[in-house]
Chains A and B, each alone.
Chain A
Amino acid sequence: MNANEREGDQDPVAALLRATPPVTVPTDFLTRVNARIDDTAGWLGLADFRAWTLGLVPAAAALVLVAILWPAAPAATAAPASAPPTQTQVVSSQTFTPSSYSDWDQDVTANALLEAALRAPASERR
């Protein structure tokens, strides 16, 4: 015996509710539904944020993919391109001498800075 049979279809309350007269649906109900569907499909549809968010999901997913994959692709090709600046830094480390205060404002490598500090006279060391 399933739940529907267990409920007791003889229940007078159930019988009364089932005998309730149906509602009267307005005659233009279908027309109004169609008009609203047309509205949402037209200009008013542009204001529907749900349509926007759902419609933009593929574009958002594509952007996320690009963001994830982008750093990986240039990193693979970046090694040869970054070699010359490294050489420049090496050259600059050989010529760097902290003769004036403004020299310390230049971009220097940590190695050049350490070398300059070690070469300085003992009186300037702290």
Chain B
Amino acid sequence: MDPDGALVEAAASGSREAFDELVRRHQTAIVSLVRVLTAGHGDPDDLAQEVFVRAWRSLRTFRGDSAFRTWLHRVAINVVRTSQTRRMRLLRVFVPFGGMGEQDAPPPEAPDVDERVDDALARRQIVERALATLPEDLRLAVTLRDLQGLDYKEIAVALGVPIGTVESRIFRARQRLRPLLAPLMGREKARQQ
């Protein structure tokens, strides 16, 4: 049973109040997802807004095959991918020779754990920077699972891949993240004792 079912139905019939409530419920998750997916490129708030605008426009085509949350995540992934494709195209046109395009850009820096890790914002930045070092498919899978809390089936639907692929991507992503986040995990453990 989709917890958003009644609101989605009302919003699809044109109720802006119902849609506002859906935005309130999911805005944190979507902003968070878009921030990780853009990995510092582009304006995540702007893209997150675009996700909800796109969702409002397409709400009538939502057939309820999956939960609204899963569908919304898929919309977000598509919006970010479209934006990245457009961005890459622009870079290719305007930086054809010698310039530093996305391909030539240095890989994102590994997190510096000497930062003030007690600060929630700093901790979040460290995690985001660690995630940014991953390839997109791994980053997306582990973000949907561990940051967004989607289950494997929902992730498989959102990404359009089999569950086995989702499992494998999440496993590899965590393996790669382990050394990057180990100092942070050590501090967490020490703080808890």
Docked Cα-Cα span, A20 to B171, in Å, equals 19
A4-B174 in contact given A20-B127, A25-B28, A30-B24 (Cβ < 8 Å):
no
Binds B, one of A31-39, A95-103, A104-112: A31-39
Considering only CB atoms, which chain B residue lies closest to A11 in the complex? B174
Query: Among A14, A29, A34, which residue has its beta carbon within 8 angstroms of that of B45?
Result: A29
Docked Cα-Cα span, A6 to B170, in Å, equals 12
Chain B window 147-167, contacts with chain A (Cβ cutoff 8 Å), 1 for yes, 0 for no: 101011100000000010011
In chain A, residues 41-69, which have Cβ atoms closer than 8 Å to a Cβ of chain B?
51
Report yes or no: B16 in contact with A34, Cβ–Cβ below 8 A: yes
B136 located at the interface, meaning its Cβ lies under 8 Å from any Cβ of chain A in the complex: no
Question: Which residues of chain B are near A17, meaning CB under 8 Å?
Answer: 127, 142, 146-147, 177
Main secondary structure of the interface of B (DSSP, over half): helix
- Chain B contact-residue range equals 35 or more
Q: In angstroms, how far is the closest chain A Cβ from the Cβ of B4?
A: 16
B52 located at the interface, meaning its Cβ lies under 8 Å from any Cβ of chain A in the complex: yes
- Chain A contact-residue range equals 20 to 34
A23 located at the interface, meaning its Cβ lies under 8 Å from any Cβ of chain B in the complex: yes
Chain B window 164-193, contacts with chain A (Cβ cutoff 8 Å), 1 for yes, 0 for no: 001100110010011001001100100000
A16-B28 in contact given A21-B120, A21-B123, A23-B124 (Cβ < 8 Å):
no
Docked Cα-Cα span, A23 to B127, in Å, equals 12
Docked Cα-Cα span, A28 to B15, in Å, equals 20
Q: In angstroms, how far is the closest chain B Cβ from the Cβ of A29?
A: 6
Report yes or no: B178 in contact with A26, Cβ–Cβ below 8 A: no
Query: Among A4, A14, A29, A36, which residue has its beta carbon within 8 angstroms of that of B31?
Result: A29
B105 located at the interface, meaning its Cβ lies under 8 Å from any Cβ of chain A in the complex: no
Docked Cα-Cα span, A16 to B183, in Å, equals 11
Report yes or no: B127 in contact with A37, Cβ–Cβ below 8 A: no
Q: In angstroms, how far is the closest chain B Cβ from the Cβ of A55?
A: 12
Report yes or no: B53 in contact with A36, Cβ–Cβ below 8 A: yes
Report yes or no: A25 in contact with B27, Cβ–Cβ below 8 A: yes
Docked Cα-Cα span, A70 to B27, in Å, equals 53
B133 located at the interface, meaning its Cβ lies under 8 Å from any Cβ of chain A in the complex: no
Report yes or no: A33 in contact with B31, Cβ–Cβ below 8 A: no
Report yes or no: B20 in contact with A30, Cβ–Cβ below 8 A: yes
B35 located at the interface, meaning its Cβ lies under 8 Å from any Cβ of chain A in the complex: yes
The 4 A-B residue pairs with the shortest CB-CB distance, nearest first, are: A17-B146, A21-B120, A3-B152, A13-B174
25 contacting pairs across A/B (C-beta < 8 A): A3-B151, A3-B153, A3-B166, A6-B167, A7-B152, A12-B178, A13-B146, A13-B177, A16-B181, A17-B142, A17-B177, A18-B146, A18-B147, A18-B149, A21-B123, A21-B124, A22-B28, A23-B124, A25-B31, A30-B24, A33-B23, A36-B53, A37-B16, A37-B56, A40-B53
Tell me the B residues contacting A by CB distance below 8 Å: 16, 20, 23-24, 27-28, 31-32, 35, 45, 48-50, 52-53, 56-57, 120-121, 123-124, 127, 142, 145-147, 149, 151-153, 163, 166-167, 170-171, 174, 177-178, 181, 184-185, 188
